[in-house]
Structure 1
Amino acid sequence: MGIILDFIQYIVDLGAAVMLPIIIFILGLFFRQGIGKSLKSGLTIGVGFIGIGLVVDLLNQNLGPAAQAMAERFNVQLSVVDLGWPGTAPFAWGSDLGLIAIPVAIIVNIIMLVTKTTKVVNVDIWNIWHMAFTGAIVQVATGSFWLGIVGVAVHAAITYKLGDMYKPVVDEYFGLEGVAIPHGTSAYMGVFAKPIDDLLELIPGVNKINIDTETLEEKIGVLGDPTVIGALLGLIIGLLAGYTVPDSLMLAVQMAAVMLLMPMVVKFIMQGLLPISDAAKTYLNKRFTDGEFLIGMDPALLLGDPQVISTGLLFIPLTILIAAIVPGNEVLPFGDLATISFFIAMAVAIHKGNIFRSLISGSVIMYITIWISNQMIGLQTALGEQVGLVSEGTRVSSLDQAGSPITYILANGLNGHFPMGVLIIFIVYVLAVGYTYISAKRGKLYVSDEVEL
């Protein structure tokens, strides 16, 4: 057992850009795609993730400091810095449940496939860190290793069901047929979008407002082009941060580059994934009736949409503003600001790219996320101290995962701790999930314009 865990740790330490190509290569061989095609698929996906990593680094290294400077300039007094997912994932992998979470999540996936309670075949092993983090936090909250395992298993089951639920959205809006995006903030926070979308549809006048990059480009010409929008938003953020004009212009060009490059690098992942997806579906459909399996992949694939990136950039200053008005909040959004698009990606799709509606549901999403992350400061700090990543006297939190309703509810529920805040989040979240699930079952989660016509 120890040798197996050591091997898993070795693979995990390679990082997603290396781990996924290896997994894809092995899957290609398993699904009888051949050595050459499997190798090409794996390497193409690796190239795509390297590209995404470079673009995300461009965001983190340039947009992150601008956001921090903007918060300081407007005197946003928040003392606990958001570590972001890059700073939080090591907490999960370094915990007692880090490596064990991988076989637990895989076993849950196999059981659900066999019992036909999911169609998601998860190959995104890296993002199991979300489940591992939930289990680790539950263990800290309860003192029980086995309740931590329960936390991992419950989060895994919810994740795969979210992948099933969003199938029409991923198919129709993002055009990723045969793919599921079950992981991370995009999936578990996207459930708030459908009830908000239907509510907005009932308001006369408001239900007619539709803003997206294509509409803007039609009405205002080149100023509505996604690349130009990225440049304008970068320039505005730079000026709000107090940057000089030259530095603000540099940030503008960097954000224009993000808007232009992100869709390009996502295409490499799809080029590598589609042959594997087709081979997997052919293999599985021969052996199982009622197939139509979905390959579970990283939410980074959703960042190829210009509406998602545009809305994410708008949420850089907006998230800081929301953090300043959340009652009792101490968390300063920082580490996750540059990748805020992950939080609202599924919501943007449910709103069919309508940036106006996405700003409304996104504000709700970020408000809830920040409020929960503030409640989780103590538990994440304790976990950080256990794994040796937080020094004594330092307090930390993160928007990604520490701000998750799933982690918050399980940590308190399995500990038998039900203050008013937990009950409210539990009720609101269950209602949002239930409403979205029923909408999906009725075929109303995403209805394309062609069908409506």
Structure 2
Amino acid sequence: MLFLLEFVNHFFNAFGATVVVPIMIFIIALCLRVPLKTAVRSGLYAGVGLTGFSWIISEFTPVVTKIIRQMVNNSGIHLPVVDIGWQAGSLASFGSSVGLTFFVFGLLAEFLLFAVGITKVFMPSNLWNNFGFMIWGTVAYYVTKNYWLSLGLSFFMLLYSLLLAEIQADSWSRYYKVNNATVCAPHNIVQTVPAIILDPLWNFLGLNKVNFTPRSLQQHLGILGEPTALGAILGLIIGILGNLTRLGSYHAWGQILQFAVQLSAVMTIFPLVTNVFAKAFTPLAKNIDQRRRQAAGDTAAPDPINDRKRWFLAVDDGVGYGESATIISGMILIPIMVALAFILPGNRTLPVVDLISLPFMVESIVALTNGNILKVIANGIVWFSIGLYCSSWSAAMYTGALQHYGAVIPAGIVLVTSFNLMARPLNALVFAAFISQNPFLIGSCIVVYLVLLVALRRYRPQIWHYLRRMADANVGTVAVRNGHHD
């Protein structure tokens, strides 16, 4: 059994996401009876898009990380728990028996959950993000030595991640303009919770009346409001913050101006790559719509809100990374989270490497607020601040698991974390319940999930209508400008 699990791991590592995901898309297309030529094209577009995402982010990450490290060093403050990035956690999760078991059987569970209708999100199309479930089970196994409990934790996190993904699916698909698609990365989808819960508070404070969207910036600032120029301006500001102590040096200004151009390039090029990746799903979306029309016995497609048979492909969250409101919000949050790490009382976590992931981490918030950048930042400040305390609490357990399962920890660092993986309030709460091994706490988590699942299955159209109204209440949306809902 262990040999089989290791073989599967080596197989996927050998071919990589840019090969396996296109194959999955090709198979899904054939299952939907898409013509062979179109199915091949969809698979190739998926591979090209993923490769483009990988190239851009792999080049951009070390540049941003260097600026962030300078920002941190300039402060002169040191915290004991250092964010070394999600990659170490991914490695450790594939090194544990719990992680490998979930990687194989979790994939089968995702097929089964979709087939029987427990979820309307087809997760296997984005199987590469399964390590986000695996790492929590891996850490739980290190702490409790209870194999089945830890594996159960990973599966339970899959269940509620799919639930949240379906809740925000219509909003994500609508905002990012990828029909019948959504994101379901376990380490990012939980941001759906603060986006929904805190929205009435932000409206009470008047944030919905502030027209702070990419469209409004372009209208008011002209050429300076275009994504290319905004990237340069934002890059200039972040570059200066990373070089405050040496602004008299021409080397510093060389780095500042280079970063401004680099961020401008990302905001210009990323949407082009996204358009290529989206082409992989266009024929699938059309096929799904055709089937819905046939099922309705009408030439017109059923209302997507009220169509209970509507389902979604889980896509890589790189699709939304370069969208203007998403990357602007994420970049603005970088210096904010560094500052908050220093001033929050009792916080022990220093976010560094994973701050580049902030645009990924805010996608659900962006979609649910219709690109209201001020709300995205407000939600991020609240949720990720709580997350800093979560990663501070779990740091010793996470560090121990990484060391036990072979991940390399940089010399001179005692405690490590991943801001992207571990600074997750909802995930941390469920993790705490499971490692307590208290039947009442674990049972409470399951009961809450079942109640929400029944509510979603019964009231999904009403939930989606509410979320559309919530999004359209923000000044600057299509609905507000034109006086009707789009």
Shifted more, 409-418 versus 46-55: the winner is 409-418
- The C-alpha deviation readout for 1:176-209, integer Å capped at 9, x for no partner, is 2211212234311221012222212123x54421
Provide the C-alpha distance between the structure 1 equivalents of 2:308 and 2:336, rounded to a whole number of angstroms: 45
Which deviations, in whole Å up to 9, do the C-alpha atoms of 1:339-378 show, x marking residues without a partner? Answer: 2111112112212111111111111122122221111111
Figure out how many residues of one structure are paired with residues of the other and give that number. 442
Which residue type is aligned with residue 165 of structure 2? G
Instruction: Name stretches of at least 5 consecutive residues in structure 2 with no aligned partner.
Output: 244-250, 297-306, 473-477
Secondary structure at 1:291 match in 2: coil
Any idea what the Cα deviations from partners look like across 1:260-305, whole Å, max 9, x if unmatched? 1111111111111232454567689999995322111222212242
Which residue is 1:398 aligned to? 418
1:65 aligned residue: 66
Shift of 1:44: 1.3
Counterpart CA distance in 2 for 1:98 and 1:118 is 23
Q: Who is 2:192 aligned against?
A: 190
- Match for 1:223: what amino acid? L
Say if 1:59 and 1:339, in contact at 8 Å, map to a contact too: no
Q: CA deviation at 1:76?
A: 3.0
Correspondence for 1:342: 360
Match of residue 445 from structure 1: 467
2:192–2:365 contact (8 Å) kept in structure 1: yes
**RMSD in angstroms over aligned alpha carbons?**
3.0
Bigger Cα displacement from structure 2, 285-294 vs 154-163: 285-294
With the length of structure 1 as denominator, give the TM-score of the two structures. Answer: 0.88
Q: Please identify runs of 4+ aligned residues in structure 1 that moved more than 6 A.
A: 280-289, 436-440
The separation in 1 between residues aligned to 2:464 and 2:43, in whole angstroms, is: 37
The CA deviation at 1:35 is 4.4
Q: Does 1:257 find its partner at 2:258? A: no
Give, as a single letter, the amino acid of the residue that structure 2 aligns with 1:161: L
2:247 match? none
Report the AA paired with residue 117 of structure 2.
K
Percent pairwise identity: 24
Secondary structure of the corresponding residue to residue 436 of structure 2 = coil
| 1:24 equivalent in alignment to 2:39 | no
Q: Which residue of structure 2 aligns with residue 87 of structure 1?
A: 88
Q: Which amino acid aligns with 1:446?
A: R
- 8 A contact 2:196–2:368 mirrored in 1: yes
**Alignment match, 2:77:** 76
Q: Distance in 1 between matches of 2:207 and 2:291?
A: 48
Find the counterpart in structure 1 of residue 396 from structure 2: 378
Residue type at the aligned position of 1:402: M
Structure 1 segment 298-447 matched on structure 2, within 5 A: 298-390=316-408, 394-416=414-436, 441=463, 443-447=465-469
CA, structure 1 residues 53+367, in 2 after alignment: closer, same or farther (shift >3 Å)? Answer: same
- Which position in structure 2 is the counterpart of 1:55? 56
Of the structure 1 ranges 74-83 and 337-346, higher mean CA displacement relative to structure 2 is found in 74-83
Q: Distance in 2 between matches of 1:283 and 1:357?
A: 37
Q: Counterpart of 2:107?
A: 106
Counterpart residue number, 1:230? 231
Q: Does structure 1 retain, via aligned residues, the 8 Å contact 2:207–2:375? A: no
Match of 2:141 among 133, 136, 139: 139
Cα offset for 1:102? Answer: 2.5
Greater alpha carbon shift after TM alignment, 439-448 vs 58-67 = 439-448
SS in structure 2 at match of 1:328: coil
Closer/same/farther in 2, CA of residues 266 and 374 from structure 1, 3 Å limit: same
- Residues 180 and 295, structure 1, Cα contact 8 Å, conserved in 2: yes
Q: Is the 8 A contact 1:190 1:346 kept in 2?
A: yes
Question: Aligned partners of 1:279 and 1:7: how far apart in 2?
Answer: 35
The one-letter code matched in structure 2 to 1:9 is N
Cα distance in 2 for partners of 1:308, 1:108 equals 31
**What one-letter code is carried by the residue in structure 2 that aligns with 1:54?**
W
**Alpha-carbon deviation of 1:320?**
0.4
Query: Are the equivalent residues in 2 in contact too, given 1:343–1:365 (CA < 8 A)?
Result: no
Contact 1:118 1:161 in 2 (8 A): yes
Question: In terms of mean alpha carbon deviation, does 356-365 or 109-118 score higher?
Answer: 109-118
Question: How many Å apart are 1:98 and its aligned residue?
Answer: 2.3
Q: Structure 1 unaligned runs (5+)?
A: none
Please name the residue that 1:210 is paired with: 211
In 2, distance between residues paired with 1:27 and 1:206? 42
Secondary structure of the 1:211 match is: coil
- Find the counterpart in structure 1 of residue 165 from structure 2: 163
TM-score, length of structure 2 as denominator length: 0.83
